[in-house]
Each structure stands twice: as structure tokens, then as C-alpha cells.
Structure 1
Amino acid sequence: MTPTQDEDSFWKETSEDKRQVDDLCAALQRRAQCNQPMSGFQLKNAELTGIDLVNHGSHHGYVLHNADLYRANLQSAHLFALDLRGSSLMKADLRHANLHCADLRDCNLLGIRLEGARLDNIIWDQQLLQERQGRALLHDGNSAAAIQLFQEAEETYRNLRLHLEKAGLFEQAGLFFHREMVMRRLQIPRYSAKRLLSWLVDLFSGYGEKPLNVVLFSLGLIGFCGLLYFLVGVQQGDRPMGIAFEHSLMSNLMDLLGCLYFSVVTFTTLGYGDISPHGLARPIAAFEAFVGSFTMALFVVVFVKKMTR
């Protein structure tokens, strides 16, 4: 049987085995070139090796929404700017395919094969399909089903990340690594220490993918501790430094700036000695120095990781 462009029932028939169809690639290409609708096509296990679905002469690709391409063979396919939103590419074989500028939002990408594929400028979801579905189930209280979807999401993120790294697309690979680690965290029991630790690592560094988080945390801690020093008081030689309502506004402002300076010196463990803590300021300074030394080491690790990719 050779389908024609007008046979909508053939393309949307779920029971039809597309593997037995002759000239399936040519028929699908003709339909695309005639700008006929291609939404909801059932192409499970279809043999589409080398198919050309590029809308030549246009920056806008063809539309193949909500298609079922489960285990379809799309090796070496030309899919530039193809709009595949809502389609299932589960276990599809896209080795050496050209997916440049393709739209893969809302797609099921579990088990997809992408060795040697061109993956630059693909439009991805910020959260993959399984993650969104898992979060919805978790919100509804179905944690067992949600964890299963989080496992699938983690596997999908990892698979995509590895292929993107091989393609040299490290920025997108880093984003997927972060989502992969978030999915792993969501599978850990909610109130466990391990999950709390994982959340803190995400908060402070984005699992090593967000150096800016480390900088913002550092600035926040320096400012907070500086304010505490101003409230409890520190010592500059023989002169106490801190808030004093009997002093002028300018004098208090200068003391506040001095406390912020002391906070920076303490955080970075420089310890010039011109200002020293006393009383309640001592445990605050000890805590800030400990966290500061750890945070600076963390920043070096995160920064080097980002820069050496």
C-alpha cells in the first residue's frame, strides 16, 4: 500500500503497521511540501531513514504536532526547524539527524538516540514532560507515581546532557545537569537530611552550574553579619564601634561602614586586626569565617567547572 497526501485516516490510524508501507518517506515528504496538516500522525516504528522534512526557502519549518514516533527510525533525517511540539519521540532513533532549530517542547524524549545528531539551537522545555507530569501528581498527593516520573525525567535529562556535551553544547548541557540533579533530589524522602543537603547545594551553587548563586550568597552573608556586628558592637582599638543612639547619624553611618568592612575581612579570613570582635560578636565572627572559607572554596570549584568546559 502506498499512501497519498489526502489519506488522513491512514496517517492517524493507530492500528496500521507503518513498517510495512512502501515509500512512506516520499509520501510524508509530499504531504509536507503541499502544506497539508500533519498533526496527530501515528508513525510508530516507521522507517523514515534520511527523510527530508525541511521547508526549503523558508525560515519556518513544517509542523508535525502530537505525532507518535515511538521507535521510529529517523537516522540521518533532515528535520531543520521542524515543529514537533507534543510529539512522542520515545526510543526514536535520530542518530546523525539534523535537528538544528527544531522545536521539541512538550515532547516525550525518554530513551531517544541522538548519537552524532546536530543539536544546536533546539527549542527545549525548561522542564521536560515527565518532570511537569510528576510535579502535578506530587501536588495531587500521588507520590509513588510522581517518583516514577521523576526517575524517567532524570534518565532523560542525563541522556540529553551526555549527547549535548559530546556535541560541545555545554551551556544547555549544564542546564540539563541541574534539572537532572533536581529530579534526583525529588526522589529522596522529603524530610531526610540527604534531601536537605541536596537542596542547600542547589540553593548555594545550583549543583555547580550557577556561580552567581555563590556570589549572591556571599554578599548576603557579609551584609547580614555586618549588620549584626553593628547591633552587638565590635572594637576598634580602644574605641567601641556599633550603634549608638546618642551619636550623630553620620557617626553611626561611619560605624556601620566599619562593621561592613570588618565583615568582609572576617568572611575572607584576612584578619587585619584593626577591628576585633568582643562579646556576642565573637561567635558571629567565628561562624562567618568558617562559612566564608567554605564558600570561597566552593566558588573556585564552581567557577573552574564552568570555565573549563
Structure 2
Amino acid sequence: MQTHNFSKIRNEIDVDFKNRKFENEKKYGVKLELFKSKFSMKSEHIRGNSNISYDDIYKIENESKIIIKKIENKSIGEFKDKYNTRFEKLRNVEFKYNTFSNCKFKNIEFYNCTFYGNVFSNCQFKNIIFINCNFYNTNECISIFNSKTIFIDCQFKNCNIEKSIFENIDLHNIKFEHTNLKDAILKKIYINNVHITDCDCRSFKIINPDIKEFEFEDNYLTKFDEYTFIDKMNIDKRYKKNYVVAFKLYRGIASKFEANGLLNNAGEYYYISKCMEYKSLSGINKFKSAIFWLLCGYGERPTFALITSLEIVLVFAIIYMVTGLNVDEYVISYKDIFSQGIPIENLNPDFMKSLYFSIVTFTTVGYGDITPIGYSVLLSGIEMLLGVTMVGIWTATLTRKITR
């Protein structure tokens, strides 16, 4: 995967995203009679303004019909002591094929719980711990979190969130530890202080994010593959500190790709990190970064070195026309063009000869059929040094990309 083609990859992910949502809606949203609703929690854990019976809460199952349960405007949990440290512990609870809308989950530890085929819309999860919980099974039962659902101070430990969809949600102070995030998609999300530790992020995708803080804190290694994709973050360009955040983020992503042996992907994110760093710099440091970008794209763009080389050749060719060249006793010199005008009839052949001399000088071939005069002698020496340097940079950068 060529990760620098972000538009193409983003479009491919959007297609997969829409197909996954469509399949989920087709299975669980349209043909309600096909699936069983299983919400096996005790009624005292559900709180709300409206009256609701135990049979309503526990499950809805009819001999002729098995339907999806829709739960709205309920508060689940909210148990705490005076220190706000007590968690309501729920073990081996099954949430299957439910639609939660405007519900609140607070101060709960879910242990070994199941969340198959659920949709959470405009819900709030606050101070929640998920341990050994499963949000996916092999029958393509996925979980969807969307419509401004908010996670605050939550932890996922040893969970399976494979193929889950997170769309238009907020994540604040979230930790993922030893969790399977394989093929999960996070789209249009706000990320503030999210930490990933030793997780499986193969084919994990984040698109159109607004990221404030996002870090990998591995003890072993978070798994990436060539399909792992983290989009360019939305940045408020008014504040340079936002570019510093972006630089650290993409540098961390690059190091994870490199640790997984995916050097080409690592190089692309390294390039993005250096571009973000450039925008955060000022003065001489910014100038040096710009030169490094211009010469070879921070070591990741061999075409930049080639284009810069061609530009150098062209610029020196024009300068040689002014400073002077000797071609078989014929002198090319346009230093008097402002007083005498440009000799149009000789302009094209003179330029071609100057361009030819610039090329052989840049490549240090030097046939000797054209000789520099005046300031051209010094300039040709400078061009030779630039030529040796640029050919070396281009060769090294190109070889690096090919070997990857």
C-alpha cells in the first residue's frame, strides 16, 4: 500500500465503511424478525424516567417473532461511593442485537461481557472498564458507535473490538491494553489523550480525525500491517503547537511501522512528521528543514532530488548565457541585454548550447568543446559540486525506496 496516496486510500476505506454499515443495517435494522434480542441484566441496573418492566428489560422473545430491542433514554450504572471509586461489576452479561439511543453508562466494570450486533447512538460511557469483553464474532456481528457517542475515562483490557465502527464520536482519556482492534474503523472522531498498549492494530483505520493527544505506550509491540492507516489529522493552523502535536504523533506512527518491519509505510509517515515539524519551526531551523525537503523530501522522495537537479541545470544554463561561454571562438554573452536588447535570432541556439554545457558540467563529464569565461569559471565549479552532491542524494534516496 502506498500510504502517501491518502485520497485513494480514504476513498477505499469509505467504500468498505459504507458496505459494512449497510450489511449491519440489512441484518439487524431492516429484517427485525430474524434476530433475537438478548439483554441479560438485572432490572435494578437500569434507571430512567419512564417505567419499564422486568420483562421489557431482560429480553423480548416471542414464539412467532424474535425482534431487536430498542432501549432509549436510560441510565445504566451510576453507582458510586463518596470517593467516586466504586464500580458496579457486571460479569458474563450479554448485550445482543440491541439499539441503545441516548443512554448513559457510568461507573461500571464489564467483565467477560458480550456486545454482539449492538448500535450505540448518542450514548455516554463515563468511567467504564471493559475486561475480556467481546464486540465481534465470526458471523459478522459487529458493534457500531455513532452519532456523538462519548467515551470519558474508559479502559479496554484484553477486549475484542475487531471490525467495530466508531463514527462521529469523542474519545477522552481512553486506554486500550492488549486489545484486538483489527480492522476497526474510526471515522470523524475527536481523540484527546488516547493511549494504545500492546494491541493488535492490523488493518486498523482512522480517517478524518481531530487529534489532540494519541500515543503508543508499548511494553512489547503493537501489531501493524501494510493496511493499517491513520489519516492526516485536522489541524487548527493558527497555533504552531498543533503542528508539534502532529509531528510527535506521526513520528510515533512511523516508529511503530518500522518496528513491524514495514519500512515503506514507516518512511511515508516519517515524511509527514517532518512536514508537520517544518510548520512548527522558525528562523534558521525552518530554512534548513526547507532545504532538506527541497533536496530529497526528507530522504523519502527521490523525484524531489531529480526535479531539483533539473532546476539547477536550467538555472545555471540561463546564468551562463549572461556570464559568458566560449564555443569554438564564438562567445555567448547576454550581459548587455538591458542596453542592447535580446538578439532573438540567436537566442534558441545559444540557450541550447548553454544548456548542454550546464548538463555536462553538472554530471562532471566535461567534454571540453565549450569553455567558461569570466564569472562562468567560478559558477561551473559550483555547479560541479552541486552535481556530485545531488547525484549522490538522488541515487541514495532511490536505492532506499527500491530496496524497501
Q: Does 1:80 align with 2:186?
A: no
- C-alpha distance in 1 between matches for 2:231 and 2:143: 29
Cα offset, 1:74, TM superposition: 5.0
Given that residues 67 and 84 in structure 1 are in contact (C-alpha distance below 8 angstroms), is that contact kept between their aligned partners in structure 2? no
Q: Does 1:304 align with 2:394?
A: no
Q: Secondary structure at the match of 2:326?
A: strand
Cα offset, 1:15, TM superposition: 8.7
Given that residues 269 and 292 in structure 1 are in contact (C-alpha distance below 8 angstroms), is that contact kept between their aligned partners in structure 2? yes
Cα offset, 1:72, TM superposition: 2.7
Q: Are residues 221 and 186 of structure 1, via their aligned partners in 2, closer, same or farther at CA, if it must alter by over 3 Å?
A: same
**2:387 corresponds to which letter in structure 1?**
G
Cα offset, 1:38, TM superposition: 5.9
- C-alpha distance in 2 between matches for 1:187 and 1:26: 45
TM-score by length of 1: 0.75
Cα offset, 1:186, TM superposition: 4.4
Higher gyration radius (CA): 2
Q: Secondary structure at the match of 2:173?
A: coil
Cα offset, 1:90, TM superposition: 3.5
Given that residues 145 and 167 in structure 2 are in contact (C-alpha distance below 8 angstroms), is that contact kept between their aligned partners in structure 1? no
**1:26 corresponds to which letter in structure 2?**
T
Q: Does 1:197 align with 2:288?
A: yes
Cα offset, 1:276, TM superposition: 0.4
- C-alpha distance in 2 between matches for 1:154 and 1:252: 48
Q: Does 1:51 align with 2:160?
A: yes
Q: Greater shift after overlay, 268-277 or 100-109?
A: 100-109
- C-alpha distance in 2 between matches for 1:151 and 1:13: 37
Deviation readout 1:192-213 (Å, 9 max, x if unpaired)? x333122211122111111111
The residue number in structure 2 matching 1:71 is 174
> Which of 227, 231, 254 is the aligned partner of 1:125?
231
Cα offset, 1:161, TM superposition: 0.5
The residue number in structure 2 matching 1:142 is none
The residue number in structure 2 matching 1:160 is 253
- C-alpha distance in 2 between matches for 1:72 and 1:96: 11
Cα offset, 1:7, TM superposition: 5.6
The residue number in structure 1 matching 2:35 is none
> Which of 351, 370, 374 is the aligned partner of 1:256?
351
- C-alpha distance in 2 between matches for 1:29 and 1:221: 61
- C-alpha distance in 1 between matches for 2:203 and 2:387: 44
> Which of 272, 275, 293 is the aligned partner of 1:182?
275
Q: Does 1:31 align with 2:140?
A: no
Q: Does 1:226 align with 2:313?
A: no
- C-alpha distance in 2 between matches for 1:290 and 1:158: 33
> Which of 136, 147, 150 is the aligned partner of 1:41?
150
- C-alpha distance in 2 between matches for 1:160 and 1:248: 56
The residue number in structure 2 matching 1:141 is none
Given that residues 80 and 102 in structure 1 are in contact (C-alpha distance below 8 angstroms), is that contact kept between their aligned partners in structure 2? yes
The alignment yields a C-alpha RMSD, in angstroms, of 3.5
Q: Secondary structure at the match of 1:279?
A: coil
Q: Does 1:274 align with 2:369?
A: yes
Q: Does 1:214 align with 2:214?
A: no
- C-alpha distance in 2 between matches for 1:247 and 1:186: 45
Give % identity: 17
Q: RCO greater where, 1 or 2, for CA within 8 Å and sep 6 or more?
A: 1
Cα offset, 1:28, TM superposition: 6.8
The residue number in structure 1 matching 2:97 is none
Deviation readout 1:251-298 (Å, 9 max, x if unpaired)? 542332111110001111222211001123223323222222222222
Count of aligned pairs: 285
Given that residues 161 and 179 in structure 2 are in contact (C-alpha distance below 8 angstroms), is that contact kept between their aligned partners in structure 1? no
- C-alpha distance in 1 between matches for 2:291 and 2:143: 54
- C-alpha distance in 1 between matches for 2:152 and 2:307: 49
- C-alpha distance in 1 between matches for 2:194 and 2:317: 55
Deviation readout 1:109-165 (Å, 9 max, x if unpaired)? 621347242343244323x35xx23x3224xxxxxxx2xx44433322221101112
> Which of 262, 269, 274 is the aligned partner of 1:169?
262
TM-score by length of 2: 0.60
The residue number in structure 2 matching 1:289 is 384
Given that residues 325 and 376 in structure 2 are in contact (C-alpha distance below 8 angstroms), is that contact kept between their aligned partners in structure 1? yes
**2:71 corresponds to which letter in structure 1?**
D
**1:49 corresponds to which letter in structure 2?**
N
Q: Greater shift after overlay, 299-308 or 264-273?
A: 299-308
Q: Secondary structure at the match of 1:46?
A: strand
Cα offset, 1:168, TM superposition: 3.3
Given that residues 75 and 94 in structure 1 are in contact (C-alpha distance below 8 angstroms), is that contact kept between their aligned partners in structure 2? yes
> Which of 17, 23, 26 is the aligned partner of 2:107?
17
**1:196 corresponds to which letter in structure 2?**
F
Given that residues 92 and 111 in structure 1 are in contact (C-alpha distance below 8 angstroms), is that contact kept between their aligned partners in structure 2? yes
- C-alpha distance in 1 between matches for 2:195 and 2:226: 19
Structure 2 residue ranges without an equivalent (≥5): 1-40, 47-56, 58-69, 77-99, 121-141
Q: Are residues 307 and 246 of structure 1, via their aligned partners in 2, closer, same or farther at CA, if it must alter by over 3 Å?
A: closer
Q: Are residues 75 and 84 of structure 1, via their aligned partners in 2, closer, same or farther at CA, if it must alter by over 3 Å?
A: farther
Given that residues 176 and 199 in structure 2 are in contact (C-alpha distance below 8 angstroms), is that contact kept between their aligned partners in structure 1? no
Given that residues 29 and 51 in structure 1 are in contact (C-alpha distance below 8 angstroms), is that contact kept between their aligned partners in structure 2? no
Structure 1 residue ranges without an equivalent (≥5): 55-60, 139-145
Q: Are residues 26 and 92 of structure 1, via their aligned partners in 2, closer, same or farther at CA, if it must alter by over 3 Å?
A: farther
The residue number in structure 2 matching 1:90 is 193
